[in-house]
Amino acid sequence: MVPLDNLRCKVNFDITLHRKANKRQRRRACLLAATCVLTLAAAPSYADEYDATVKDIQSTMGGVPGFVKQFPKAGLPGAWAEVKAIQLSDKTALPPKVKSLISLAVAAQIPCNYCIWSDTQDAKRAGATDEEIQEAVAVSALTRHWSTIFNGMQVDFDTFRKEMGGQ
């Protein structure tokens, strides 16, 4: 059971439910108390879902990285499901090598050293050559370059689209 203090559900029923409390104060206290009860009732399933996610990460990755333990427990199950369904799945429209190259190109522009290292390793494991990795990064640099020009020079989008063959 989750301690009431940990959920910051502090309701002073003596004051709020006292006869002098107005209707709005009593209603607020009841809503707050109901929220606390519902949160406490849901806590065990939340913990079960978190534990199951950690076990799945262990099974999938062969270990649980430290940063996973720093991620908010409430968000980990959803975040892991998203990573597993999109990034790690080979049953999506894009093959793993392409996904890793896209992720590396984005990481190079953010920049994110952690992602650059990890995505480079993933791309190599998926069969990417050094030339493909270099080209992915170069394409991302070109996109950033031209985006800077178009936005900085305030090129009219409708004119651009028309000149580039759009309707």
Q: Which domains does the chain have, with CATH numbers?
A: 1-89 (no CATH), 93-167 (1.20.1290.10)
pLDDT in the model for residue 46: 76
Among the ranges given (2-16, 36-50, 62-76), the one the predictor scored with the smallest mean pLDDT: 2-16
The amino acid at residue 118 is S
Count of all residues that appear for the chain in the document: 167
For residue 119, the Cα-to-chain-centroid distance in whole angstroms is 17
Ranges 9-18, 67-76, 116-125: which has the least confidence: 9-18
Q: At residue 58, what is the residue type?
A: Q
User: Which residue bears the tokens 């990460």?
Assistant: 57
What's the rounded mean pLDDT across residues 98-103?
Answer: 97
Query: pLDDT of 10-48, one tens digit each?
Result: 444 444 444 455 766 666 665 666 565 555 455 556 789
142's tokens: 């070109």
Within 36-75, strands assigned E span none
Burial 102-126 (b: 16+ CB within 10 A, else e): bbbbbbbeeeeeebbeebbebbeeb
- Computed over every residue of the chain, the mean pLDDT equals 84
pTM: 0.69
Of the pLDDT bands very low, low, confident and very high (cuts 50, 70, 90), residue 167 is confident
